Amino acid sequence: MVYAYDINILGGSVHTTKKITEALVVVSKENELEVNADKTKYMVMSRDQNAGRNQSINTDNSSFERVEQFKYLETNLI
């Protein structure tokens, strides 16, 4: 079994980020992996406080939650 942790997707717009996310879902499926929509979040960083507010990232019948901040937890997997 293969696991992938902590993938960060960056894009210059919500549209670009959505396209990259869709590609991730497709490649994951091709490699018999699954993107867990319950654990997948996205954040828009912009000087415009309302950037992407009315947009959402939906792929493969899954909707990803938008967050205003996130906490990165480092784990040591040995």
Exposure string over 38-47, b if 16+ CB within 10 A, otherwise e: eebebebeee
Helices (H), 2-70: 14-30
pLDDT (0 to 100) of residue 28: 86
Q: Which two tokens stand for residue 31?
A: 């490699």
pLDDT (0 to 100) of residue 44: 76
Mean pLDDT of all residues belonging to the chain? 76
4-36: per-residue pLDDT in tens? 567 777 777 778 888 888 888 888 889 888 888
